[in-house]
Structure formats: C-alpha cells, structure tokens
Structure 1
Amino acid sequence: MDKPAPAQRKRAVPAVTRAIAILRRLGGSDEPLGVQQIARDLGLVPSTCLHILRVLKDEGLVAFDPVSKRYFIDVGILSIARSAIEKNPFASLIQPKLDDLAKSFGLTAIAVKLVEPTSMVVVALSQVPLPFRLQVDLGSRFPALISATGRCFAAFNTPDEAMLRKGFAALNWDNPPEFATWREEVRQAREQGYAVDRGNYISGVTVVAVPFFDDRNRMNHGMVVIGISERVATIGVPALAREMLAVRDEVAPMLMGKPGG
C-alpha cells in the first residue's frame, strides 16, 4: 500500500511578504510616507525597509520624492493590476451586465472580489453620465464587512461572533449602525439573498449588494449597485434586487471551473 504524500508546508519568504506589506501600506495612504513611518507601522527594521523600497522604486512600483524624502505608489503598478483584471473571468463576464444595470437604472454598478479574508477589491464597474456621480475606481480596496457587501459577507461566510464584533468595531461609517441592528440586517441578507445599506456607509447613499458563491457556498464575489437614496427609493430596492439576482443566476454558472472564477 502506497504511503500518503506528505502535506505540503507553506514556505515563508520574508522579503516578498515585507514588500507586499509595504505596497499595501503605501496604497492605503492618502499621502506619501517616509521610511521611518513605514518601518514603524509594519514593524520592520528601517534599513530593511529602505532596501525594499529602493528595489520597488527601481522596478517602477514605488516613486520617491527627493524633496520630502517620502515614497508613494507609482504608475508601474497599474499595468500589473490592469492585466490581472483583464484576465479575470469574473470581470469579463460581469462587465456587460454592469453596463446594462447602470444604463437601465441610472446608477453606478460595480463588481468586487474577495482578495483576502478581510478585504474586497473592485474588479469591474460601470458609471453613467449624471450631474452627480459617486467616484469609484478599479482596484479600490475596502473592508470585507463594510456596507451592503459586508452584510452579505457576514451572512454567508459566517465568521464567529467575536470576530464579527472585532471587525465591526474597526469599520468607518458616516452613520454607524448599532451592532444589534447590523446583525439583524445580516440575518435578513441571509434570508433574502441580498443586502442593503441605507445611508450608513455614505450619508444619503443607498447600496444594494448580491453575493456570488464558491463551491462551498461561501461568498467570493459580489455585485453592487450604488445611488442617491431618493433615486433608489423611486426605483424600489426589491425591484432592483430582483434584477441583480437574475443577473447573478445567469452569470454564476459560466464561472464554474474557471480559474479565478
């Protein structure tokens, strides 16, 4: 009888891990950062941090301001991100559907992907020319538990209560809901199959989200429609959600068995 193959162990590659952490820290900052601050925030030795930053700069992923002595994300990262999005089967399949939703309802429609246990990233979007429009960018990253997508994530990926409370406490809202109210809305999302954020995340804005699932029935992607609350109320959340669920049910089977789907 053959012996079972030994389980493969993940090998830590500290330099790569640190470089990724630095890129994420710079990408999440609204202003350039100095070596000392980056090192302090990430718990790195300053000399190690500086060495990695110089390599990232040479590769065009990070830029350096010689006046302020600070670093920031450079445009070289865009080609990598664009290639990843263009080759993502979910993004290519959902894009025409987002265009139809945006045009039909006059709202912003986006698609997101769960990229790590605590973050979602925008992989596709469609916006219509309106006097007032919400600005959303490809590659935008946000906490997995925030807004309507967060209610879906909590409903279907079911982290334990302690994790939910800790994650919820760290969220930034314009109008924070009470945890008990939010938990009830999570329950409703599980029951209805979609979630709604009415002005909690952004004042005056309603967000409707529909989840996509992996083969374990856990949320791995989401489709989101965003608009001024008055306009969404005129359309009607149930009608909007029905249309989004129909799109999800049409697209989801096409993703089965596709890498990254």
Structure 2
Amino acid sequence: MPEPGAERLAGHGRDVGAVVNAVAILRHLAAAARPLGVAAIARGTGISASTCFNILRTLTRTHFVSFEEAGKTYTLGLAVAELATRFFGMSHTELIRPELRRLAMKHGMLIALWRVTEDGHIVLADRAHNPDGVRVEMSIGIRLPMLVGAVGRCIAAVLDLPEAELRRRFGQLRWQASPSFETYLTEVRAAREVGWSMDDGHLYRGIVTVAALITDAAGKPRFGLSGVTIAAQHDPATFPVLGRDLAEMAGLTSRALFAAPPGWAAGTELP
C-alpha cells in the first residue's frame, strides 16, 4: 500500500515531487522489518520502479541508504543517524514543541500538548501561542480527568470501552455545561471516524477546544494535542481545518516517536 500522504503532498504546487518521493522511500525503509528490493519499494510507496531506482541510487551515494549487493536490496544508511544525532536525549515534549509553535502561528490560537498519565488523567505538558492575538492562557501542570473535553472524546474513541462502562465513567466527569451522554457518545464515535474531536463550551463555557490524539504502536494514548480559543474569535469553518491539521500532526508524531520495532506484531506487548 502506498505511503500515507505521498500522493497528497505531491499534488501541491509548493512541493518538489522528487523530495516527496525520497521522503516516502526513506519512511518506507524505516518501517520495513528487512532489506527491500526496488520492486518491493515501488509497490509499497506507489512510486514507479524507474523513479525509485534513480532516487535510491542518489540516496545510496549520499549514504542515506545502504545497498546490499548480494540480495540487490536496500536499508537505511548511516547518514540518517547523523541527521538524528541532535535529537538523542531530547524529551518528547522538546521534540514536539516546534510543531506546537507552527500550528499556533498558523491558526492564531493556543496549541496545547497534554500528557496522558497512567492514573487516568491528562496533564498539560507544554503549550504555544500566537503573540499577536487575544488568547486563552493555561498553566503548565493543569490536571484533568482523561475522558473530559475534546481530548477526552479522542481518548474514549481509542479505548473503545463498552457503552455501560463509558456511561459510568462519563457520570463521574465534571463540566461547566455538561453534554448529555448520548451527545458525548455520538461525538466519541465521530472522533473514531475522523481522528479529531471538538468541545464547544461544555468543559469551559465560552471556550472552544479541538483535539487529536498521539498513540503508540499498540494504540495506547500517549499525548493529546488541542487548539484552544475563545468562542466567536474564529470562523466556525476554521475548526474542521484545525482538526485535520492536528490529526495529521498526531499521526506523524505517533509514527516518529512511537514506531513499532522491526518484527513487532500487533496484539503483542511492546518491548
């Protein structure tokens, strides 16, 4: 199956097709459990075999890819590790922070990163804002029940709890203007379909929050991403765009920070 997003990215006028294809090839090799030949890479990325071969030849010369003569196969090369060296030792929060800033500037609102804890809460780990606009302010360390708000709907969607258990937990949540359980359940199911959710004045009156979820390879919630703004500060058409941007970033972050090790099978415990 072609790499997610490769065709979509290539379709934008501002993107350079050869670069998009090279990135798709590198990502495909990074996810592979064994060395791959040109034909397998072409099938996996949806890039023509001749284009794959030319890009692989260049990546090999620059040491981003290693070529194994015996099997005519390719793996990631040492130059990839060289690029990643500056990230060694950095926390997940530090790695995600530049993307928080980018989204805050793009959408003109507070973008928050929530860490999902083992005891059933979310804690504000980091946030970024656009300095030019009126904004919501939130303090690092704020702690909320993990199923509340827009992030909570996304977590509930991933946990996929039995309806009776979800109803029980919903009854323990505190909102300033609580939705009905039926509305909450409908929105949880929608979050499961589209990858993001919205809370419009329920958790806090007058505040709109849009969120998506970062998960590990086993599907366990790790972080929530949310855009937070004062109601009526943005056109309603902004929120689906924000939701898709957050979902895209959450997916990329999930793959980058919590990728499964080679050979790991879904349904088994991560090492």
TM-score (norm 2): 0.59
- Paired residue for 1:124? 126
Is the contact made by 1:175 and 1:199 (CA closer than 8 Å) also made in structure 2?
Answer: yes
Q: Does 1:245 align with 2:229?
A: no
- The 5 A counterparts of 1:36-185 are 89-129=91-131, 132-185=134-187
Deviations along 1:6-58, one digit per CA (max 9) or x if unpaired, are xxxxxxxxxxxxxxxxxxxxxxxxxxxxxxxxxxxxxxxxxxxxxxxxxxxxx
The alpha-carbon distance between structure 1 residues 199 and 113, as it changes in their structure 2 partners (threshold 3 A), is: same
1:130–1:166 Cα change, 3 Å: farther
Q: Secondary structure at the match of 1:233?
A: coil
Matched residues, number: 172
Q: Is the 8 A contact 1:152 1:219 kept in 2?
A: no
Letter in structure 2 aligned against 1:223:
L
Look up the match of 1:37: none
Counterpart of 2:206? 204
Q: 8 Å contact 2:115–2:123 — kept in the other structure? A: yes
- Distance in 2 separating the partners of 1:193 and 1:166: 24
Is the contact made by 1:117 and 1:144 (CA closer than 8 Å) also made in structure 2? no
The structural deviation recorded for 1:152 is: 0.6
Matched-pair contact (CA < 8 Å) for 1:177–1:200: yes
Tell me how far apart the structure 2 counterparts of residues 249 and 225 of structure 1 sit (CA, whole Å): 16
Tell me, which stretches of 5 or more residues in structure 1 are unaligned?
1-86
Which deviates more from structure 2 when the two are superposed, residues 227-236 or residues 194-203? 227-236
Q: CA RMSD in A?
A: 2.0
Tell me the amino acid that sits aligned with residue 91 of structure 1: T
Residues 120, 143 of structure 1: 8 Å contact kept: yes
SS of residue in 1 equivalent to 2:202: coil
Tell me, yes or no, if the aligned pair for 2:109 and 2:133 is still in contact at 8 Å: no
Q: CA deviation at 1:120?
A: 0.6
Q: Does the aligned pair in 1 maintain the 2:215–2:258 contact within 8 Å?
A: no
Which amino acid is 1:229 matched to?
A
* C-alpha distance in structure 2 between counterparts of 1:132 and 1:236, whole Å: 16
1:109 to 1:131, Cα distance in 2 relative to 1, 3 A: closer
Question: TM-score, normalised on structure 1?
Answer: 0.61
Question: Take 1:164 and 1:234, find their aligned partners in 2: how far apart are those partners?
Answer: 29
Overall identity of the aligned pairs, in %:
29
One-letter identity of the residue aligned with 1:121: V
